Structure 1
């Protein structure tokens, strides 16, 4: 700017008085704001002055922009106050982003409890709870709609199959915060209809209802059941597949109180349902219920906390039962809801085991890949309807082993696993370096023949297609709509992708490669295997209609025995007892620290652990390419000290954050320990 321009500016502004600062709100002029800064040492609200122009809009739950550490950041108003404990002058709210109260007080309290439970920060949990803003959706006109008529609870036609079922619905309708672990019965549409009945009992009583299911397919099935029971307009569904606008529109319906019920995947556990009367989770052992983002909460634990905070009833339902649900039952915190043994035996298919001991009569190596009992079951089932074949892994042909002693076949050059070629005539090759292994010999016994340890779903479909010519073979694909199943077909599927069968269900099911599920190096291997097998068996016709399930497995394995007996509660109690003896969750509290060795060691040394706590590790971590350079250390304490252990870890994280030291990944009661 030139001297002449400066002089003109002075002349133009001479005599003007500076604009006085805007006044503050007359009532509750202080806003406590949760700023979007995910640093553990800043995990607390900060006070800001509320300008008079924002007095009406900057209410608890609204989004604002504030000045923090020299930059503009987003935040949520947590509460308004008459005065601040801060002695100095307060900075003012910068801008009101939206007056929509998307972070309700109940959800904010839940987010704080989840952050404390998992040694995380409140803002990290809030990101999981509140979807990103969609301004156009907020500006959409709200249609004038007549109030929905009161909902009658109706009869408990599905819960009547359980001795304690009708009483459970009655207590939900009465507003009693009852807690139940529900072992569901099979049957086309049974679990969705039962969930709809439970939600209807809460809504009919004038309270809200919330159900969390593993994936979009389950959401669609439950959505259809709810719509069929009480019509449209009473509930919304929340899934990532909806897209930003549709998801935020459904979220606002809840936040504004336009609907009382919601269903969806894991983030739905935080949905802003008013006057919540029931929270329900289906298939709590499914991996998708565990949040992969910090602080890694599990939807089951979030709903348990919410049930306590808001006085809502809780139902944890599944075909099977997790160790965590069994711990609730053993402690008397929740009551079991299950059918009597005669009803169970009549409703489920008949289960048999095809032994796979090497050299035995049903050894797969003697008759190709599948035991003879499996072939017989598939052949008999196809004469009556569609048959389901469950294979643990996708793909074609994975690793091989020695035909004689079952030692894994490894590459002589890089020690990588050997895999078969694309056809049965191709020579084995290394899955890491690709070298041909034509002259391979077993280092343990000298044998030169190999067998497939586990065959993928596509190779299995190919084999079955050759064995049953003329029969359609259906292979569901992940990420694609579930295919239709003909009246006579072979459905070859990985766990969780099994399409719904026509009519009364599949005539038979074959569960292959059980050893692969059971031999996984994971604390939950046996629990997961039984859960996946029962989910497949639930799609098969009852035994009085000829339904049968055959599993190729070791008959002495406890999960296999539980499947044959149709008794997941027995297996869950056994699994929990073993975990208590070994000192693993949920019988004990545990924290996993992952990161560079020096950082993990420094973190553990800084944490003031409860008395009696110990350390497991550290151990170096590897992936498919080899060592990652990180280590994992487990901190373990008594179950009663879980809260103290989480506080100690959170305080250590806060100190390290203030020092700007290398970050360490912290997981409280990790869902997977392998």
Structure 2
């Protein structure tokens, strides 16, 4: 039986964007809207359409009275929900992100709009009481030059933009909560993006001290589909005014956005691992620019990208004077790992620490204060090497690095494939003797337990993260990023195996090392209260000097200048094109690159970088780099975006991955 449909009387054509995975179909298509669907089929709603004989999800972008299509139009199959989930502001942001990162709009939409949960959407909303404006006390912001003026601008609804350099010992959640509360009580919305769940919980607890709890919403992947969608709807419908979340929350549809904040933008978790690989910092700044709202990037350290915003005049500095920094910062000493000193002190040899560092730890423990020990790697012995020729021990099956999971482990374990290697023998010299390349947190905890007998040892890392420790004598061994906060601050902090961070073959190694050290050192008491940070490294290294002087701004200035000299981001824009050599050459050959483009490579895919999806495991993968001046960044992205669509339509090459300004270039 044929069902006769009648087209809607008013604007019978819906222009939709199907959620397809192929780049060459990233465009709008027109469909007819029936009279029964017309009321619900509004711009921004989810629909289902028939495309090449199969049903696919889509979003309505606009309703029209006419069409450019010369043939017969198909009908919308179904309006999934009348909820307008794609707002005008978010749609503009999606378009800008796709253009900035040479991606497709459907890929960005998958990051921006969470999957629908029908029960959460149909649940009856409880009306909220009107938000009562309140005065927020912000005396702590007076410690920063420009701080009071920035807070005043938020209260007035002005689009002030700043890069905030938090003082050591500063309660960053309280400061962000105060800035957000000032904005909320001025009648506008706030969006705060943080690296992980622990940061969400901390900032949420601070925010509800200033804003009604039902107006503060935390978004994270760990909530589950129903609860996450329920909270996201609260944001969409305007109930939530202070939104806190991880990287994907940067797309949250906050109504009347007045302030977007980002904490610790150097954390790798803020970079999206899915296409088109946007960084939350760049998305937040795009959003602030589009809606003309205030923006703030904060951290104990500073990235070259954040400093570039200040250098260009787009943002202002929020920093304390040198005298204020000296009052708040702990005493930082750099120590050589002297074999002579370890011979004189058996405890120093046991704990792999210079005597001066041990003395600082003993003094803090004697004062009933905890001591923080930062170790770059978790586990027991995460990397092994031949004791004779120093070749790294690798798995016979996948060539992954071998590790020792524990003291009583029967054999080594591959960190990539998980296979056990009961009998180790060097493939280069045949020796069966091994040594530790890096000592992990659990092994360090054992050694420190012997160096400080009778003192409790707490470990924090990975899935066993500890949030806080009490103010009592204890040794806390933690990996970077999961250091517990101590009530009253740590008496001392010891930064071990610093070469493991500084020695990485990575563009951001020095910047990342300083960020991790400062995050740990910021938990230590000030020098006036006896706080000491001992970093086991050569004091002549510029990054170590920046820690000693507590000068993240100077370090970022140096990083930005040095990258500009050699033509590396953020001084330039750079695209990494990964794939089989023939496919990469075909893509770049089809791209109308800007005349200023400088093509570099090919080189092997960097160690640790994921292979492009859809390639055989035995197919060799190369990387080509395309570098352009900052003014030509959008032109480069547009050229690669068009070439990717052309290659996708031809189906004559293997898949190629395009990343604009990737975190790790090589």
Q: What is the TM-score of this pair, normalised by structure 2?
A: 0.91
Question: In structure 1, what is the Cα distance between the partners aligned to 2:411 and 2:465?
Answer: 36
Structure 2 counterpart of 1:130: 113
Q: Give the structure 2 partner of residue 550 of structure 1.
A: 534
- Map 1:116-127 → 2, pairs under 5 A: 116-127=99-110
**Which secondary structure does the structure 2 equivalent of 1:233 belong to?**
helix
For residue 158 of structure 1, report the CA deviation from its aligned partner: 2.3
Q: Distance in 2 between matches of 1:226 and 1:621?
A: 43
The SS at the match of 2:210 is helix
**CA–CA separation in structure 2 for the residues paired with 1:457 and 1:668:** 35
Which of 156, 163, 169 in structure 1 is aligned with 2:138? Answer: 156
Q: Which residue of structure 2 lines up, in the alignment, with residue 492 of structure 1? A: 477
- Calculate the aligned-residue CA RMSD, in Å: 3.0
Tell me whether 1:168 sits opposite 2:150 in the alignment: yes
User: Residue in 1 aligned with 2:654?
Assistant: 662
1:136-186 per-residue CA deviation (whole Å, 9 max, x = no partner) reads 11111111333232x224232221211201100111222221211111123
Is the CA contact (8 Å cut-off) linking 2:381 and 2:439 kept in structure 1?
A: yes
1:619 maps onto 2:603 in alignment: yes
SS at match of 2:36: helix
For residues 181 and 308 of structure 2, the distance between their equivalents in structure 1, rounded to whole angstroms, comes to 28
Q: Which runs of 5+ in 2 are unaligned?
A: 610-616
* Alignment-derived partner of residue 228 in structure 1: 209
Distance 1:587 1:464 in 2: 44
Cα distance in 2 for partners of 1:74, 1:135 equals 15
CA contact (8 A) 1:387 1:506 kept: yes
CA contact (8 A) 1:409 1:442 kept: no
2:614 maps to: none
Report matched runs for 1:459-608 at 5 Å: 459-480=443-464, 482=466, 484-486=468-470, 487-502=472-487, 504-608=488-592
Alignment CA distance shift 1:278-1:622 (3 Å)? closer
Counterparts of 1:257 and 1:173, CA distance in 2: 20
- Which SS does the other structure have where 2:648 is aligned? helix
- Looking at structure 1, the residues matched to 539 and 514 of structure 2 have their Cα atoms a distance apart, in angstroms, of 13
Distance 1:363 1:28 in 2: 87
Change (3 A) 1:430 1:22: closer
> 3-state SS of the aligned residue for 2:599?
strand
Larger Rg: 1
Residue in 2 that maps onto 1:5: none
3-state SS of paired residue (1:155): coil
SS of residue paired to 1:465: helix
Deviation larger for 159-168 or 84-93:
84-93
1:87 aligns with 2:70: yes
Note the alpha carbon deviations across 1:311-337, whole angstroms, 9 max, x for none: 111101111000101111111111111
Once the two structures are superposed, the pairs formed by residues 349-498 of structure 1 within 5 Å of their partners are: 349-356=330-337, 367-368=349-350, 369-384=352-367, 385-399=369-383, 408-410=390-392, 423=407, 435-436=423-424, 452-480=436-464, 482=466, 484-486=468-470, 487-498=472-483
Distance 1:511 1:205 in 2: 43
**Distance of aligned partners of 1:499 and 1:637 in 2 relative to their CA distance in 1, 3 Å threshold:** same
Moved more, 350-359 or 173-182: 350-359
CA distance in 2, matches of 1:345, 1:153: 31
Match of 2:642 among 642, 651, 654: 651
Q: Quick one: distance in 2 between partners of 1:300 and 1:622?
A: 24
Between 191-200 and 296-305, the greater mean CA deviation after superposition:
191-200
Distance 1:645 1:435, change over 3 A: same
Cα distance in structure 1, aligned partners of 2:292 and 2:403: 55
**Aligned partners of 2:189 and 2:635: how far apart in 1?**
33
Q: Which residue of 1 aligns with 2:188?
A: 207
| Equivalence for 2:159 | 177
Deviation string for 1:581-608 (max 9, x for gaps)?
A: 1111111111111122221222122222
TM-score by length of 1: 0.90
The answer to whether the 8 A contact 2:374-2:493 is kept is yes
Task: Figure out how many residues of one structure are paired with residues of the other and give that number.
Answer: 648
Q: 1:279 aligns with which of 247, 260, 263?
A: 260
Deviations 1:469-518 (A, max 9, x none): 1111111242345255241111101001111212x111110000111100
Q: Does 1:638 align with 2:659?
A: no
Contact 1:427/1:437 (8 A) holds in 2 = no
Structure 1: gaps of 5 or more residues:
1-12
